[in-house]
Amino acid sequence: MEAKHQLHTDNKDALSFITEEIGFTVLGGINANHLDRMRVTLKIEVLNRKYPDFMQNEELAGIAIRANVDLYHDVQVEKLIRRTADKLEIGTTHLYSSIAQLTEQLEKHRLHIIEKEKDHKPKSKALTEGERQAAESFLKSETLHAATLKLITTSGIVGEENNCLIMWYVYTSRKLNRPLHIISFGSSGTGKSHLQEKVAELIPDEDKIEITSLTQNAFYYFGTDELGHKLILIEDLDGALSALYPIRELQSKQRISKTLTIKDSKGNTRTIHLKVQGPVSVAGCTTQEQVYEDNANRSFLIYLDESKEQDEKVMQYQRLLSAGKINFTQESNARILLQNVQRLLKPVRVINPYAEYLQLPCEVFKPRRTNAHYLAFIEAVTFYHQYQRKEEVNEETGEVYIESNIEDIEITNRLMKEILLRKSDELNKATRTYFEYLKAWLKSEEKISFTLAEARKALNVTHGSQKRYMSILLQEYYMKKTKTKEGYVYEVSSYEDYKNIKQSVENALDNTLLQLKEQETKKNLKEAATVQRSNTVHQVNEPPKAAVIKVNRAKNGQFTQKQTIQP
Protein backbone atom coordinates (compact mmCIF):
# COMPACT_ATOMS: atom_id res chain seq x y z
CA MET A 1 0.00 0.00 0.00
CA GLU A 2 1.27 3.47 -0.85
CA ALA A 3 2.46 5.67 1.97
CA LYS A 4 -0.23 8.28 1.34
CA HIS A 5 -2.94 5.67 1.98
CA GLN A 6 -2.38 5.79 5.68
CA LEU A 7 -4.78 6.27 8.57
CA HIS A 8 -4.32 9.67 10.18
CA THR A 9 -4.82 9.45 13.97
CA ASP A 10 -3.93 12.98 15.10
CA ASN A 11 -7.54 13.47 16.18
CA LYS A 12 -8.62 10.31 18.00
CA ASP A 13 -12.29 11.30 17.68
CA ALA A 14 -12.09 11.86 13.91
CA LEU A 15 -9.71 9.40 12.26
CA SER A 16 -9.18 10.09 8.56
CA PHE A 17 -8.21 7.86 5.63
CA ILE A 18 -7.79 9.32 2.13
CA THR A 19 -7.29 7.61 -1.23
CA GLU A 20 -6.94 9.25 -4.65
CA GLU A 21 -10.70 9.69 -5.05
CA ILE A 22 -12.42 9.04 -1.69
CA GLY A 23 -12.07 10.48 1.79
CA PHE A 24 -13.18 8.53 4.88
CA THR A 25 -13.64 10.00 8.35
CA VAL A 26 -14.23 7.69 11.33
CA LEU A 27 -16.38 9.84 13.58
CA GLY A 28 -16.06 9.15 17.32
CA GLY A 29 -12.94 7.06 16.92
CA ILE A 30 -12.82 3.30 17.43
CA ASN A 31 -13.67 0.98 20.33
CA ALA A 32 -10.65 -1.10 21.32
CA ASN A 33 -12.53 -3.38 23.72
CA HIS A 34 -14.36 -5.65 21.25
CA LEU A 35 -12.00 -7.41 18.88
CA ASP A 36 -14.83 -9.50 17.43
CA ARG A 37 -16.42 -6.48 15.71
CA MET A 38 -15.44 -3.25 13.99
CA ARG A 39 -18.44 -0.97 14.43
CA VAL A 40 -17.70 2.57 13.29
CA THR A 41 -19.52 5.70 12.16
CA LEU A 42 -18.23 6.68 8.71
CA LYS A 43 -18.40 9.86 6.73
CA ILE A 44 -17.63 9.16 3.03
CA GLU A 45 -17.05 11.86 0.45
CA VAL A 46 -15.60 12.11 -3.03
CA LEU A 47 -12.42 14.18 -3.47
CA ASN A 48 -11.09 16.16 -6.46
CA ARG A 49 -14.31 15.95 -8.44
CA LYS A 50 -15.16 18.60 -11.03
CA TYR A 51 -18.68 19.94 -10.43
CA PRO A 52 -20.73 22.11 -12.81
CA ASP A 53 -20.38 25.88 -12.34
CA PHE A 54 -24.01 26.29 -11.25
CA MET A 55 -23.40 24.19 -8.05
CA GLN A 56 -22.54 26.32 -5.02
CA ASN A 57 -19.97 25.53 -2.29
CA GLU A 58 -22.75 24.81 0.22
CA GLU A 59 -24.11 22.12 -2.09
CA LEU A 60 -20.67 20.61 -2.59
CA ALA A 61 -20.12 20.38 1.19
CA GLY A 62 -23.33 18.43 1.58
CA ILE A 63 -22.43 15.65 -0.85
CA ALA A 64 -21.31 12.97 1.62
CA ILE A 65 -22.58 9.71 3.06
CA ARG A 66 -22.79 9.13 6.81
CA ALA A 67 -23.45 5.64 8.12
CA ASN A 68 -22.99 3.41 11.17
CA VAL A 69 -21.62 0.05 10.05
CA ASP A 70 -19.78 -3.03 11.31
CA LEU A 71 -16.87 -3.44 8.89
CA TYR A 72 -16.68 -7.13 9.83
CA HIS A 73 -20.27 -7.69 8.68
CA ASP A 74 -20.24 -8.46 4.94
CA VAL A 75 -23.93 -7.76 4.41
CA GLN A 76 -23.72 -4.34 6.03
CA VAL A 77 -20.58 -3.47 4.06
CA GLU A 78 -22.16 -4.49 0.74
CA LYS A 79 -25.27 -2.40 1.43
CA LEU A 80 -23.08 0.58 2.32
CA ILE A 81 -21.04 0.23 -0.90
CA ARG A 82 -24.13 0.03 -3.11
CA ARG A 83 -25.74 3.01 -1.39
CA THR A 84 -22.55 5.08 -1.53
CA ALA A 85 -21.86 4.22 -5.17
CA ASP A 86 -25.40 5.18 -6.11
CA LYS A 87 -25.52 8.51 -4.28
CA LEU A 88 -21.95 9.65 -4.95
CA GLU A 89 -21.86 8.21 -8.47
CA ILE A 90 -18.58 6.34 -8.14
CA GLY A 91 -17.56 2.80 -9.06
CA THR A 92 -18.07 -0.06 -6.63
CA THR A 93 -14.68 -1.61 -7.41
CA HIS A 94 -12.75 1.32 -6.00
CA LEU A 95 -15.09 1.47 -3.01
CA TYR A 96 -14.49 -2.20 -2.19
CA SER A 97 -10.73 -1.68 -2.39
CA SER A 98 -10.76 1.51 -0.32
CA ILE A 99 -12.95 0.07 2.46
CA ALA A 100 -10.76 -3.05 2.60
CA GLN A 101 -7.69 -0.83 3.05
CA LEU A 102 -9.49 1.25 5.68
CA THR A 103 -10.48 -1.88 7.62
CA GLU A 104 -6.89 -3.14 7.61
CA GLN A 105 -5.58 0.22 8.82
CA LEU A 106 -8.19 0.38 11.61
CA GLU A 107 -7.20 -3.13 12.76
CA LYS A 108 -3.55 -2.08 13.02
CA HIS A 109 -4.53 1.10 14.87
CA ARG A 110 -6.70 -0.81 17.32
CA LEU A 111 -3.94 -3.32 18.09
CA HIS A 112 -1.56 -0.40 18.62
CA ILE A 113 -4.01 1.12 21.13
CA ILE A 114 -4.26 -2.19 23.00
CA GLU A 115 -0.49 -2.58 23.18
CA LYS A 116 -0.15 1.00 24.34
CA GLU A 117 -2.69 0.43 27.12
CA LYS A 118 -0.79 -2.66 28.23
CA ASP A 119 2.42 -0.63 28.47
CA HIS A 120 0.62 1.97 30.58
CA LYS A 121 -0.71 -0.57 33.07
CA PRO A 122 1.07 -0.20 36.41
CA LYS A 123 3.87 -2.69 36.90
CA SER A 124 5.13 -3.94 40.21
CA LYS A 125 7.69 -1.57 41.61
CA ALA A 126 11.19 -2.92 42.27
CA LEU A 127 12.12 -1.84 45.78
CA THR A 128 15.58 -0.54 46.58
CA GLU A 129 17.50 -2.21 49.38
CA GLY A 130 16.79 0.73 51.66
CA GLU A 131 13.05 0.66 50.92
CA ARG A 132 12.93 -3.09 51.49
CA GLN A 133 14.73 -2.85 54.82
CA ALA A 134 12.49 0.00 56.02
CA ALA A 135 9.31 -1.89 55.08
CA GLU A 136 10.55 -5.15 56.60
CA SER A 137 11.60 -3.39 59.81
CA PHE A 138 8.13 -1.85 60.03
CA LEU A 139 6.43 -5.25 59.52
CA LYS A 140 8.55 -6.75 62.32
CA SER A 141 7.53 -4.03 64.78
CA GLU A 142 6.13 -5.44 68.02
CA THR A 143 3.35 -2.85 67.92
CA LEU A 144 2.55 -3.23 64.22
CA HIS A 145 -1.20 -2.64 64.58
CA ALA A 146 -0.77 0.63 66.49
CA ALA A 147 2.13 1.72 64.28
CA THR A 148 -0.02 1.16 61.18
CA LEU A 149 -2.81 3.35 62.55
CA LYS A 150 -0.29 6.09 63.33
CA LEU A 151 1.15 5.93 59.82
CA ILE A 152 -2.32 5.94 58.24
CA THR A 153 -3.13 9.10 60.20
CA THR A 154 0.18 10.65 59.13
CA SER A 155 -0.69 9.97 55.47
CA GLY A 156 -3.38 12.65 55.61
CA ILE A 157 -6.53 10.87 56.79
CA VAL A 158 -8.43 12.81 59.44
CA GLY A 159 -10.33 10.87 62.12
CA GLU A 160 -12.27 7.70 61.20
CA GLU A 161 -9.57 5.58 62.90
CA ASN A 162 -11.71 2.45 63.26
CA ASN A 163 -13.03 2.62 59.70
CA CYS A 164 -9.54 3.23 58.31
CA LEU A 165 -8.15 0.11 59.98
CA ILE A 166 -11.09 -2.01 58.82
CA MET A 167 -10.54 -0.78 55.27
CA TRP A 168 -6.80 -1.44 55.55
CA TYR A 169 -7.28 -5.07 56.56
CA VAL A 170 -10.04 -5.62 53.97
CA TYR A 171 -7.82 -4.19 51.23
CA THR A 172 -4.94 -6.36 52.46
CA SER A 173 -7.14 -9.46 52.16
CA ARG A 174 -7.03 -9.15 48.34
CA LYS A 175 -3.89 -11.31 48.51
CA LEU A 176 -5.75 -14.15 50.22
CA ASN A 177 -7.81 -16.87 48.55
CA ARG A 178 -10.94 -15.56 50.29
CA PRO A 179 -10.77 -11.77 50.02
CA LEU A 180 -13.12 -9.53 51.96
CA HIS A 181 -15.34 -6.75 50.61
CA ILE A 182 -16.53 -3.46 52.06
CA ILE A 183 -19.26 -0.86 51.45
CA SER A 184 -19.15 2.63 52.96
CA PHE A 185 -22.44 4.29 53.87
CA GLY A 186 -23.11 7.88 54.76
CA SER A 187 -25.08 10.97 53.91
CA SER A 188 -24.22 13.02 50.86
CA GLY A 189 -21.15 15.18 51.47
CA THR A 190 -19.76 13.21 54.43
CA GLY A 191 -16.66 12.07 52.52
CA LYS A 192 -17.38 8.42 51.71
CA SER A 193 -15.53 8.47 48.40
CA HIS A 194 -12.77 10.61 49.90
CA LEU A 195 -12.10 8.12 52.70
CA GLN A 196 -12.12 5.17 50.30
CA GLU A 197 -9.78 7.01 47.96
CA LYS A 198 -7.35 8.07 50.72
CA VAL A 199 -7.01 4.56 52.16
CA ALA A 200 -6.69 3.15 48.61
CA GLU A 201 -3.71 5.48 48.08
CA LEU A 202 -1.87 3.27 50.58
CA ILE A 203 -2.25 0.28 48.24
CA PRO A 204 0.23 -0.13 45.32
CA ASP A 205 -1.14 1.06 41.96
CA GLU A 206 -0.49 -2.32 40.33
CA ASP A 207 -2.84 -4.02 42.80
CA LYS A 208 -5.95 -1.88 42.32
CA ILE A 209 -8.47 -0.90 39.66
CA GLU A 210 -10.42 2.32 40.21
CA ILE A 211 -13.82 2.59 38.48
CA THR A 212 -16.24 5.51 38.28
CA SER A 213 -18.94 3.93 36.10
CA LEU A 214 -19.63 0.38 34.93
CA THR A 215 -21.76 -1.11 32.18
CA GLN A 216 -23.50 -4.45 32.54
CA ASN A 217 -20.93 -6.44 30.56
CA ALA A 218 -17.78 -4.49 31.50
CA PHE A 219 -16.33 -7.15 33.80
CA TYR A 220 -16.69 -9.90 31.19
CA TYR A 221 -14.20 -8.22 28.86
CA PHE A 222 -11.29 -8.15 31.27
CA GLY A 223 -8.51 -10.64 30.55
CA THR A 224 -8.96 -14.08 32.08
CA ASP A 225 -6.43 -13.45 34.87
CA GLU A 226 -6.44 -9.66 34.80
CA LEU A 227 -8.52 -9.28 37.98
CA GLY A 228 -6.82 -11.95 40.08
CA HIS A 229 -6.06 -10.68 43.62
CA LYS A 230 -6.92 -7.10 42.66
CA LEU A 231 -8.69 -4.43 44.70
CA ILE A 232 -11.65 -3.05 42.73
CA LEU A 233 -12.69 0.42 43.87
CA ILE A 234 -16.13 1.67 42.77
CA GLU A 235 -16.51 5.35 43.52
CA ASP A 236 -20.32 5.27 43.66
CA LEU A 237 -22.42 2.13 43.46
CA ASP A 238 -25.14 4.21 41.80
CA GLY A 239 -22.89 4.27 38.74
CA ALA A 240 -22.65 0.47 38.70
CA LEU A 241 -26.30 -0.56 39.05
CA SER A 242 -26.30 -2.64 35.87
CA ALA A 243 -23.09 -4.43 36.92
CA LEU A 244 -24.19 -5.48 40.41
CA TYR A 245 -24.92 -9.07 39.39
CA PRO A 246 -21.42 -9.86 38.02
CA ILE A 247 -19.96 -8.07 41.05
CA ARG A 248 -21.90 -10.39 43.38
CA GLU A 249 -20.77 -13.42 41.39
CA LEU A 250 -17.15 -12.31 41.63
CA GLN A 251 -17.56 -11.89 45.38
CA SER A 252 -19.21 -15.27 45.95
CA LYS A 253 -17.79 -17.60 43.27
CA GLN A 254 -14.59 -15.64 42.57
CA ARG A 255 -15.17 -16.01 38.84
CA ILE A 256 -17.68 -14.98 36.18
CA SER A 257 -18.45 -16.36 32.74
CA LYS A 258 -20.71 -15.48 29.84
CA THR A 259 -21.59 -17.11 26.51
CA LEU A 260 -22.09 -14.86 23.48
CA THR A 261 -23.07 -15.38 19.85
CA ILE A 262 -21.17 -13.31 17.28
CA LYS A 263 -20.83 -13.14 13.51
CA ASP A 264 -17.46 -13.72 11.89
CA SER A 265 -16.10 -11.83 8.88
CA LYS A 266 -18.15 -14.04 6.56
CA GLY A 267 -21.41 -13.40 8.38
CA ASN A 268 -21.54 -16.84 10.00
CA THR A 269 -22.82 -17.07 13.58
CA ARG A 270 -20.58 -18.70 16.17
CA THR A 271 -20.43 -18.95 19.96
CA ILE A 272 -17.66 -17.67 22.21
CA HIS A 273 -17.22 -18.19 25.96
CA LEU A 274 -15.89 -15.33 28.10
CA LYS A 275 -14.40 -16.25 31.49
CA VAL A 276 -12.77 -14.00 34.08
CA GLN A 277 -11.06 -15.36 37.18
CA GLY A 278 -10.80 -13.74 40.61
CA PRO A 279 -10.51 -13.59 43.47
CA VAL A 280 -11.05 -9.88 43.99
CA SER A 281 -11.71 -7.52 46.87
CA VAL A 282 -14.49 -5.04 46.07
CA ALA A 283 -15.02 -1.67 47.76
CA GLY A 284 -17.80 0.79 47.05
CA CYS A 285 -19.68 3.80 48.43
CA THR A 286 -23.36 4.70 48.54
CA THR A 287 -26.00 6.62 50.46
CA GLN A 288 -28.68 3.96 49.90
CA GLU A 289 -28.39 0.99 52.23
CA GLN A 290 -31.54 -0.86 51.22
CA VAL A 291 -30.94 -0.68 47.47
CA TYR A 292 -27.77 -2.74 47.70
CA GLU A 293 -28.89 -5.30 50.26
CA ASP A 294 -27.74 -8.34 48.23
CA ASN A 295 -24.28 -6.85 47.80
CA ALA A 296 -24.23 -5.61 51.40
CA ASN A 297 -24.76 -9.16 52.66
CA ARG A 298 -21.45 -10.12 51.06
CA SER A 299 -19.55 -7.17 52.48
CA PHE A 300 -18.49 -5.44 55.65
CA LEU A 301 -20.62 -2.35 56.18
CA ILE A 302 -19.06 0.74 57.66
CA TYR A 303 -20.81 4.00 58.42
CA LEU A 304 -18.95 7.27 58.36
CA ASP A 305 -18.67 9.38 61.48
CA GLU A 306 -21.11 12.28 61.01
CA SER A 307 -20.62 13.73 64.49
CA LYS A 308 -19.85 17.39 65.17
CA GLU A 309 -16.45 16.37 66.55
CA GLN A 310 -15.51 14.75 63.23
CA ASP A 311 -16.80 17.79 61.35
CA GLU A 312 -14.50 19.99 63.40
CA LYS A 313 -11.48 17.70 62.75
CA VAL A 314 -12.06 17.81 58.99
CA MET A 315 -12.60 21.58 58.94
CA GLN A 316 -9.46 22.17 61.00
CA TYR A 317 -7.45 20.11 58.48
CA GLN A 318 -8.98 22.21 55.68
CA ARG A 319 -7.92 25.38 57.49
CA LEU A 320 -4.34 24.12 57.93
CA LEU A 321 -4.29 23.08 54.28
CA SER A 322 -5.39 26.54 53.19
CA ALA A 323 -2.82 28.13 55.51
CA GLY A 324 -0.01 26.05 53.96
CA LYS A 325 0.78 24.27 57.24
CA ILE A 326 0.37 20.68 56.02
CA ASN A 327 3.61 18.71 55.63
CA PHE A 328 3.05 17.06 52.24
CA THR A 329 6.47 15.40 52.27
CA GLN A 330 5.66 13.62 55.53
CA GLU A 331 2.28 12.50 54.16
CA SER A 332 3.88 11.23 50.94
CA ASN A 333 6.60 9.32 52.82
CA ALA A 334 3.94 7.62 54.98
CA ARG A 335 1.98 6.55 51.88
CA ILE A 336 5.08 5.22 50.13
CA LEU A 337 6.14 3.21 53.20
CA LEU A 338 2.70 1.61 53.56
CA GLN A 339 2.65 0.79 49.83
CA ASN A 340 6.04 -0.91 50.17
CA VAL A 341 4.78 -2.77 53.23
CA GLN A 342 1.95 -4.15 51.10
CA ARG A 343 4.41 -5.19 48.40
CA LEU A 344 6.42 -7.26 50.90
CA LEU A 345 3.42 -9.32 52.02
CA LYS A 346 3.76 -12.72 50.39
CA PRO A 347 1.06 -15.37 49.86
CA VAL A 348 0.92 -17.79 52.78
CA ARG A 349 -1.83 -19.93 54.20
CA VAL A 350 -3.36 -18.89 57.52
CA ILE A 351 -4.71 -21.41 60.06
CA ASN A 352 -6.73 -20.30 63.05
CA PRO A 353 -6.36 -22.91 65.84
CA TYR A 354 -8.98 -21.06 67.93
CA ALA A 355 -11.66 -20.98 65.24
CA GLU A 356 -13.80 -23.78 66.67
CA TYR A 357 -14.10 -21.96 70.01
CA LEU A 358 -15.25 -18.60 68.59
CA GLN A 359 -18.91 -17.65 68.91
CA LEU A 360 -20.95 -14.82 67.42
CA PRO A 361 -23.69 -12.98 69.32
CA CYS A 362 -26.99 -14.81 68.93
CA GLU A 363 -28.68 -11.55 67.82
CA VAL A 364 -26.72 -11.39 64.54
CA PHE A 365 -28.83 -11.69 61.42
CA LYS A 366 -27.63 -14.08 58.68
CA PRO A 367 -25.13 -15.71 61.07
CA ARG A 368 -23.66 -18.14 58.52
CA ARG A 369 -22.31 -15.47 56.21
CA THR A 370 -21.38 -13.15 59.08
CA ASN A 371 -19.46 -15.95 60.79
CA ALA A 372 -17.49 -16.59 57.59
CA HIS A 373 -16.66 -12.88 57.35
CA TYR A 374 -15.60 -12.75 61.00
CA LEU A 375 -13.21 -15.70 60.62
CA ALA A 376 -11.86 -14.34 57.33
CA PHE A 377 -11.10 -10.99 58.97
CA ILE A 378 -9.05 -12.75 61.66
CA GLU A 379 -7.11 -14.45 58.88
CA ALA A 380 -6.50 -11.08 57.22
CA VAL A 381 -5.13 -9.67 60.48
CA THR A 382 -2.84 -12.70 60.88
CA PHE A 383 -1.75 -12.43 57.25
CA TYR A 384 -0.72 -8.81 57.79
CA HIS A 385 1.31 -9.86 60.86
CA GLN A 386 3.08 -12.64 58.96
CA TYR A 387 6.57 -11.26 59.75
CA GLN A 388 5.78 -11.74 63.44
CA ARG A 389 4.53 -15.29 63.07
CA LYS A 390 6.60 -18.45 62.93
CA GLU A 391 6.23 -20.34 59.66
CA GLU A 392 5.16 -23.95 60.09
CA VAL A 393 5.29 -26.77 57.55
CA ASN A 394 2.61 -29.41 57.07
CA GLU A 395 4.58 -32.67 57.13
CA GLU A 396 2.07 -34.45 54.90
CA THR A 397 1.67 -31.82 52.16
CA GLY A 398 4.79 -29.72 52.61
CA GLU A 399 2.61 -26.59 52.68
CA VAL A 400 3.93 -23.60 54.62
CA TYR A 401 1.46 -21.85 56.94
CA ILE A 402 1.23 -19.46 59.86
CA GLU A 403 -1.17 -19.57 62.80
CA SER A 404 -3.45 -16.93 64.26
CA ASN A 405 -2.90 -16.01 67.88
CA ILE A 406 -5.10 -14.43 70.55
CA GLU A 407 -3.77 -10.97 69.74
CA ASP A 408 -5.22 -11.28 66.21
CA ILE A 409 -8.61 -12.20 67.64
CA GLU A 410 -8.44 -9.31 70.10
CA ILE A 411 -7.72 -6.82 67.28
CA THR A 412 -10.59 -8.27 65.24
CA ASN A 413 -13.06 -8.10 68.10
CA ARG A 414 -12.15 -4.50 68.80
CA LEU A 415 -12.75 -3.51 65.17
CA MET A 416 -15.78 -5.74 64.61
CA LYS A 417 -17.98 -4.63 67.50
CA GLU A 418 -19.63 -1.81 65.59
CA ILE A 419 -20.04 -3.94 62.44
CA LEU A 420 -21.58 -6.86 64.35
CA LEU A 421 -23.81 -4.41 66.18
CA ARG A 422 -25.10 -3.12 62.85
CA LYS A 423 -25.71 -6.70 61.69
CA SER A 424 -27.71 -7.34 64.89
CA ASP A 425 -29.95 -4.28 64.64
CA GLU A 426 -33.27 -4.33 62.79
CA LEU A 427 -32.91 -0.63 62.03
CA ASN A 428 -30.55 0.80 59.44
CA LYS A 429 -27.89 3.22 60.60
CA ALA A 430 -29.71 6.42 59.61
CA THR A 431 -32.96 5.41 61.32
CA ARG A 432 -31.11 4.18 64.42
CA THR A 433 -29.18 7.46 64.68
CA TYR A 434 -32.41 9.45 64.46
CA PHE A 435 -34.09 7.18 67.03
CA GLU A 436 -31.24 7.49 69.55
CA TYR A 437 -31.14 11.28 69.20
CA LEU A 438 -34.90 11.34 69.62
CA LYS A 439 -34.74 9.31 72.85
CA ALA A 440 -31.94 11.49 74.22
CA TRP A 441 -34.00 14.60 73.49
CA LEU A 442 -37.11 13.17 75.16
CA LYS A 443 -35.10 12.26 78.26
CA SER A 444 -33.48 15.68 78.47
CA GLU A 445 -36.87 17.40 78.16
CA GLU A 446 -38.54 14.82 80.44
CA LYS A 447 -41.19 14.26 77.79
CA ILE A 448 -43.18 11.06 77.26
CA SER A 449 -45.03 11.94 74.05
CA PHE A 450 -44.25 14.34 71.22
CA THR A 451 -45.50 15.60 67.88
CA LEU A 452 -43.59 15.36 64.62
CA ALA A 453 -43.26 19.12 64.41
CA GLU A 454 -41.67 19.29 67.86
CA ALA A 455 -39.17 16.55 67.10
CA ARG A 456 -38.33 17.92 63.66
CA LYS A 457 -37.51 21.32 65.11
CA ALA A 458 -35.52 19.96 68.05
CA LEU A 459 -33.47 17.45 65.99
CA ASN A 460 -33.07 19.68 62.92
CA VAL A 461 -34.14 17.04 60.36
CA THR A 462 -36.01 17.52 57.11
CA HIS A 463 -39.66 16.59 56.72
CA GLY A 464 -38.86 13.88 54.15
CA SER A 465 -36.17 12.24 56.28
CA GLN A 466 -38.35 12.29 59.40
CA LYS A 467 -41.27 10.78 57.50
CA ARG A 468 -39.03 7.94 56.30
CA TYR A 469 -37.57 7.27 59.75
CA MET A 470 -40.93 7.34 61.52
CA SER A 471 -42.46 4.98 58.97
CA ILE A 472 -39.78 2.38 59.75
CA LEU A 473 -40.03 2.88 63.52
CA LEU A 474 -43.81 2.46 63.50
CA GLN A 475 -43.63 -0.55 61.22
CA GLU A 476 -41.12 -2.28 63.51
CA TYR A 477 -43.12 -1.31 66.66
CA TYR A 478 -40.41 0.90 68.12
CA MET A 479 -42.96 3.74 68.33
CA LYS A 480 -46.62 4.11 69.32
CA LYS A 481 -48.98 6.44 67.49
CA THR A 482 -52.05 7.90 69.22
CA LYS A 483 -54.73 10.21 67.84
CA THR A 484 -55.82 13.15 70.03
CA LYS A 485 -58.04 16.17 69.52
CA GLU A 486 -55.00 18.23 68.52
CA GLY A 487 -53.67 15.56 66.13
CA TYR A 488 -51.32 12.59 66.31
CA VAL A 489 -48.79 12.16 69.13
CA TYR A 490 -46.04 9.55 69.38
CA GLU A 491 -44.38 7.60 72.19
CA VAL A 492 -41.24 5.47 72.35
CA SER A 493 -42.02 1.80 73.06
CA SER A 494 -38.64 0.96 74.61
CA TYR A 495 -35.63 2.99 75.62
CA GLU A 496 -33.37 0.03 76.31
CA ASP A 497 -33.49 -1.97 73.03
CA TYR A 498 -30.27 -0.63 71.52
CA LYS A 499 -28.42 -0.69 74.83
CA ASN A 500 -29.36 -4.35 75.31
CA ILE A 501 -28.23 -5.32 71.81
CA LYS A 502 -24.95 -3.46 72.23
CA GLN A 503 -24.30 -5.05 75.63
CA SER A 504 -25.07 -8.50 74.26
CA VAL A 505 -22.65 -8.12 71.35
CA GLU A 506 -19.87 -6.81 73.58
CA ASN A 507 -20.40 -9.53 76.19
CA ALA A 508 -20.35 -12.30 73.57
CA LEU A 509 -17.05 -11.14 72.11
CA ASP A 510 -15.39 -10.20 75.41
CA ASN A 511 -16.39 -13.41 77.21
CA THR A 512 -15.14 -15.61 74.37
CA LEU A 513 -11.83 -13.76 74.30
CA LEU A 514 -11.51 -13.99 78.09
CA GLN A 515 -12.09 -17.75 78.01
CA LEU A 516 -9.46 -18.16 75.30
CA LYS A 517 -6.94 -16.18 77.33
CA GLU A 518 -7.64 -18.29 80.43
CA GLN A 519 -7.24 -21.50 78.42
CA GLU A 520 -4.00 -20.21 76.92
CA THR A 521 -2.67 -19.28 80.37
CA LYS A 522 -3.52 -22.73 81.76
CA LYS A 523 -1.92 -24.36 78.73
CA ASN A 524 1.29 -22.35 79.16
CA LEU A 525 1.44 -23.10 82.89
CA LYS A 526 0.88 -26.80 82.22
CA GLU A 527 3.64 -26.88 79.59
CA ALA A 528 6.01 -25.03 81.93
CA ALA A 529 5.24 -27.48 84.77
CA THR A 530 5.81 -30.43 82.44
CA VAL A 531 9.18 -29.07 81.37
CA GLN A 532 10.17 -28.43 84.99
CA ARG A 533 9.22 -31.97 86.06
CA SER A 534 11.14 -33.40 83.15
CA ASN A 535 14.26 -31.49 84.13
CA THR A 536 13.90 -32.60 87.77
CA VAL A 537 13.53 -36.29 86.85
CA HIS A 538 16.52 -36.03 84.53
CA GLN A 539 18.66 -34.62 87.34
CA VAL A 540 17.55 -37.29 89.87
CA ASN A 541 18.16 -40.25 87.56
CA GLU A 542 21.51 -39.06 86.33
CA PRO A 543 24.45 -41.00 87.97
CA PRO A 544 26.87 -38.98 90.10
CA LYS A 545 29.80 -37.55 88.26
CA ALA A 546 33.06 -39.01 89.49
CA ALA A 547 36.32 -37.20 89.58
CA VAL A 548 38.79 -38.55 87.08
CA ILE A 549 42.50 -38.33 87.71
CA LYS A 550 44.66 -38.58 84.67
CA VAL A 551 48.18 -39.78 85.29
CA ASN A 552 51.29 -40.26 83.24
CA ARG A 553 53.74 -43.12 83.49
CA ALA A 554 57.22 -41.85 84.01
CA LYS A 555 60.06 -43.36 82.14
CA ASN A 556 61.30 -44.98 85.37
CA GLY A 557 57.99 -46.81 85.89
CA GLN A 558 56.61 -44.43 88.56
CA PHE A 559 53.09 -42.90 88.24
CA THR A 560 52.70 -39.13 88.55
CA GLN A 561 49.47 -37.10 88.68
CA LYS A 562 48.94 -34.76 85.70
CA GLN A 563 45.53 -33.11 86.36
CA THR A 564 42.14 -33.67 87.89
CA ILE A 565 39.04 -33.12 85.70
CA GLN A 566 35.41 -33.03 86.77
CA PRO A 567 33.48 -34.04 83.65
Q: Give residue-wise pLDDT tens across range 471-505.
A: 999 998 899 999 888 888 999 988 888 888 888 88
Long-range contacts, 163-169 (Cβ 8 Å, 24+): 163/195, 163/302, 163/304, 163/305, 164/195, 164/199, 165/415, 166/300, 166/302, 166/415, 166/419, 167/195, 167/196, 167/199, 167/283, 167/302, 168/199, 168/202, 169/377, 169/380, 169/381, 169/384, 169/415
Long-range contacts, 491-495 (Cβ 8 Å, 24+): 491/448, 491/449, 491/450, 492/438, 492/439, 492/442, 495/439, 495/443
71 and 210 share one domain: no
Residue 432: what pLDDT?
A: 87
Which DSSP symbol is given to 213? -
User: Average pLDDT in the 281-289 region?
Assistant: 84
Residue 231: what pLDDT?
A: 92
308 and 164 share one domain: yes
How far apart are the C-alpha atoms of 333 and 237, rounded to whole Å?
31
Beta bridge partner(s), residue 41: 27, 68
161 and 28 share one domain: no
200 or 562: whose pLDDT is higher?
A: 200
117 Cβ partners below 8 Å, 6+ apart? 32
**How many independent structural domains does the chain possess?**
3
Query: Is 532 a member of any domain?
Result: no
Query: Is 12 a member of any domain?
Result: yes
415 and 491 share one domain: no
pLDDT band at 274 (very low <50, low <70, confident <90, very high): confident
371 Cβ partners below 8 Å, 6+ apart? 360
104 and 154 share one domain: no
261 and 324 share one domain: yes
C-alpha distance across the termini of the chain, in Å:
96
Query: Is 502 a member of any domain?
Result: no
Query: Is 94 a member of any domain?
Result: yes
- Strand, helix or coil for residue 61: helix
Structural domain boundaries, residue 324: 132-422
Q: Answer yes or no: are the C-beta atoms of 451 and 489 closer than 8 Å.
A: yes
The DSSP code sequence of 496-547 is: SHHHHHHHHHHHHHHHHHHHHHHHHHHHHHHHHHHHHHHHHHHHHHSPPPPP
441 and 413 share one domain: no
User: What would you report as the CA-atom Rg of the chain, rounded to the nearest whole angstrom?
Assistant: 35
397 or 375: whose pLDDT is higher?
A: 375
Query: Is 489 a member of any domain?
Result: yes
How far apart are the C-alpha atoms of 419 and 395, rounded to whole Å?
38
- Which region among 66-80, 234-248, 281-295, 394-408 has the lowest average model confidence (pLDDT)? 281-295
330 and 418 share one domain: yes
Q: Answer yes or no: are the C-beta atoms of 183 and 423 closer than 8 Å.
A: no
How far apart are the C-alpha atoms of 179 and 289, rounded to whole Å?
22
84 Cβ partners below 8 Å, 6+ apart? 44, 65, 67, 90, 95
Q: 406, 422, 438: which is the final residue of a domain?
A: 422
Nearest to 414 by CA among 371, 381, 370, 376: 381
The beta strand positions in 181-268, using DSSP E, are 182-185, 208-211, 230-234, 255-263
pTM of the model: 0.72
Q: What digits encode the pLDDT tens for the residues 120-143?
A: 555 677 889 999 999 999 999 999
The DSSP code sequence of 13-30 is: TEEEEE-SSEEEEEET--
pLDDT band at 62 (very low <50, low <70, confident <90, very high): low
Residue 410: what pLDDT?
A: 93
| Integer CA distances (angstroms), 139 to 132, 343, 345, 388, in order | 11, 11, 9, 8
* Amino acid in position 133: Q
172 and 252 share one domain: yes
95 and 33 share one domain: yes
State the chain's mean pLDDT as an integer: 82
- Strand, helix or coil for residue 556: coil
Nearest to 386 by CA among 135, 197, 11, 68: 135
